[in-house]
Structures are given as structure tokens and as C-alpha cells.
Amino acid sequence: MRNRRLAWSAAVLAVAGASAMAPVAALTPAALSADPPVHFVQSPSAIPGQKCTPTTRLLVSSKPAPKALPGGLTMRIWDTGPVKNPRLALKGLRIVAVRVPARAAAGATIISAPNLSSAQTPYTQIQHRPNVITAVNGAIFNLRTLSTPDGPQVINGVVQKGTYSPSDTLNFDQNGRISAGLFQLTAHGTIWVPNLGQATPQSLPIRSLNNQVLTSGLNVYTNVWGPQVHPFGLRELWLKGTVQQSGTTTTFVGAVSEVRTKNLGQQPPPVDNSGQSTWVLTSTADNDGLFTGFGVGMSVRITLGYQTMDRSHNITTNVVAAMERGGVYVAGGKNRANCSFGNEDLRPRTLIGWNTTTGDMFFVTIQGKYDQWGVRWGGATVHQAADYLISLGADTAVALDGGGSTTMLVRTKLGGTPIHIDRSNPRDTQRPVVNVIGIVPIKQVTPSPSPSVTPSATPTPSASPTTPTPSASASPKV
């Protein structure tokens, strides 16, 4: 579909705002209007010694006024306007930046599709959540399933996916503030095996939860996995029981209902009317011996939790949500992105940045205006994207999924219609994704003087859970 001018997009915003539901918040945003065209002003690379494509200094050559959004947020749009010369099509560019001031009564949260293997467009995920002010696409999806997030996922303190190996994550505290850190699944399982007339407890070495690839040890699949076939080995233990959540610990108590060697990989059925859940245990073929002696009727108990760390491997205890992130492109106020191979492609980018001094957060999408063979081209290189975040005021910035996944939606008033603002034609299609990051009104938790970060060496996976408990302790600056 052909791109339209930014003025047309602004008109859509005005109409959507006028026809929306009555606002929940008292803030009335200013009318959105077209920004002036951008002149391409080249600047040298921020990385000495590397051949980087020079950054177009949009933030210097064009200074659009901020547009007010609900909750004290502001949005700015830089747009080159239409590029009619096909040879210059890749220069077509739009940057949308939403700033969440530290004083705003709003924070970030993870919004997910109904399960891990059924992706939905960002619009679908937020259209019935009228309190979402803005949203961007989230984690990189796995190419095996075309929907499942590659890395961990924790929502509202409940771990939904992860492995015992530490993963790079975006971690969210109870105030909706974001930090770049690490995540590790903590899990312990016990099965009671009959032995001389008595039930003897035997440890279950659980190493992954709802993962798209089997790891060493045992792998758990729950109802959260969804309708797609999950990975499997030579057999599966189907477990039926009850699930309880206490803090950030999920506990399953039940028994083996079936040992399967055929029709493997089928998703666990949903929770039934009696509150019973079905979980599945499987392993790689070379670990099949772990199931020796297990049979129907044996009692099983599984506990799942998680441990989070900062990038220096210090344990953090205030994380209530987490998801996979891309690379850290800005750190300490410096551009850390390299300019090798695919990083130099001009592609759509989605990034989140923050300022560790002011506490402001920045949600940014960078889109081109050029589509060919069903692929979106144009946008920014990796180091150009980092330059833009620094210009906005971020001293730390990380990447999310990009390319065809890049999407930003905004509401000009709470309860209004979400507007696809990152494309000059708001009706452009959106790629289904498994999760998005939404900015919502949030009641701030008053920090206490106690520290929230405990120095620690890199944790070693253990059979016993060390699940942190969310607290109102002081959070690290973001």
C-alpha cells in the first residue's frame, strides 16, 4: 500500500482522538501536526577506526515540537516526507520517540498473546486494553515456531518460559522501570518411586520451561505453551494436578497420568473445569534414561521460579517481569554498536533507552518508507540507531526485534483507538508477534531505604529454587 504524507497521518490522529471514548485521564493532548521536512546532514561515525555509514542527524536538522500524550508522556516525530526518486528510496525515514519522564505516573509492562505459540499483531494485543498509552513490539521470535519468543518471559511475577542458563533480558520492576540484566530459571522437581513398599523421593533435574529447543536434563511444557507441537524425545510423562502461585514461585502438585511413547509433542490440554492442569515432561533422546522406573500413579511435585541479575551478575530482587532483549547499543552514554556485516543494513529498528541520571525512558521506532518483495527496507544501521538514542538523551539503550516486527501504537487519550504511528500510512500491516511492551498508568511504589541489589558471583544452576520475592526496596536507577 502506498505511503501517504505525514499530514494525512496527522489528520487520522485528529479524527481518532475526536471519535474516541471519553478520556480516563484529565490530560488533553495537543493536536498532532506535520513536522517540517528533514535535510540530510551527515556526521562522522561515533566509533573511531570503523567504517560506519554516517549518521543522518535528523535531531539536529529538524526539531519537531513534542505532542502531549496521556500520563505525562510526550511524543516527537521526525519524517523525511515522501522520497519519489527510486534510487534514493532508502533515504525515506521516520523516527517516532515517546518519552516517559521519571515523574510520570506511568510505567512499562509486558503484554503477551494468549499463549507462547500463537502470535498476534500489536494492535490486537492492546485494542481491548484501554489503559495502554503506547506500545512497541517486543522480543525476537523464534524461527522454528515463527511465534514463540526466543528467550525468557515473566509476566506479573509468573515465569512462563526460561532455561537454567542465564539469558540477556529486559527486567521490569514494580514501578514499571526497565533495566538491562540477566535471567535464570530456577526449578526443582521430585517424583516418589515405589521401593520395597515405600515411596522414595527422587529428584527430577528440570532444565527448561516451555523452550523451543530441548536442553540437557528434563524439559517442562505447560498449558502456557499453546497449540503448536512442542519438542519431544523418545517418551513423555504426562502429569495431572493442581497449580498454585505464591509470590514468584509456581508449584505443581499431582501425579503421573500417562507415559507416552506415541503421538508425542502434542500440547498439554487446557485447565479443566475442576481446576486440574496437565503438564508434560520430556528430554532429549540421549537423556531418556532419566525416565527409568517412572510410571503411572507416582506422585510428582514441581516448583518453578526465577533469579535475575544486573549486567555485572549482581542478584536483583525487585524484578516482576522479564523478556529477552537484543544488544546493548548505548552504555555509559557511549555508542557501543559495531558496524560489521548486517549491522550496516538500513532496516527498521525498535529500541528502548533510558537516562540513569534523570530516570526518563525513551521508546523509539525507526522506519523506512521502502517495501520490496514483501520486505521492509530503509531505516537505520545499528550504530545510527544508537546515535539517535544518545541525541534524545539516553545514556543506555537496548534493541528489541526489528525489521518487519517494528511497530509503535499510541493513543491520544485513554480508551481511544490505537494509532499505528510509526508508518506514514497507519493502515500498513503489522506482523503478528508474541508480546509487546506497553506503557500504562501505574501506581508508584515508594522505595524503602533497604538495597535491592546484592553483590554475588555468577550463580551456578542448582536443583533447589532460589526464587526472589518482589519487594518495595529501592530499585537501581534506570
Q: In this predicted model, what pLDDT tens digit does every residue of 1-40 receive, in sequence order?
A: 333 333 434 443 443 333 333 333 333 334 444 444 444 4
Q: Could you give the maximum distance between any two Cα atoms of the chain, in Å?
A: 83
pLDDT of residue 188: 97
Mean pLDDT of the chain: 83
* pTM, 2 dp: 0.82
- Residue reference for cell 502470535: 119
Q: Which range has highest mean pLDDT (86-95, 270-279, 445-454)?
A: 270-279
Over residues 174-191, the mean pLDDT reads 96
pLDDT at position 143 is: 80
End-to-end, the C-alpha distance of the chain in Å comes to 39
- What mean pLDDT comes out for the span 346-351? 93
Backbone angles phi, psi at 64, to 5 degrees: -65, 145
| Rounded distance between C-alpha atoms, residue 109 and residue 319, angstroms | 11
Q: Can you spell out the DSSP letters for 128-169? A: T-TT--EEEE-SPBPTTTTSSBSS-EEETTEEEEEESS-EEE
**393 within 8 A of 358, measured Cβ to Cβ:** yes
Do the beta carbons of residue 418 and residue 127 sit within 8 Å? yes
pLDDT beyond 70 at 473: no
The helix (H) or strand (E) run that includes residue 9 is: helix 6-19
At 435 the three-state DSSP class reads: strand
Burial environment of residue 450 by CB neighbours within 10 A (0 to 12, 13 to 18, 19 or more): exposed
Radius of gyration of the chain (CA): 24
Spatial separation of the C-alpha atoms in residues 180 and 310, rounded to whole Å: 7
pLDDT at 303 over 90: yes
CA angle 437, 441, 442 (to 5 degrees): 95
Residue type, 167: S
Give dist(CA 153, CA 159) in Å, integer: 6
pLDDT at 179 over 70: yes
Alpha helix (H) residue ranges in 80-133 = 122-126
The residues, any chain, with a CB within 8 Å of residue 280's CB and separated by 6 or more, are 220, 221, 222, 230, 236, 237, 238, 239, 268
pLDDT in tens, 198-228: 999 999 999 999 999 999 999 999 999 999 9
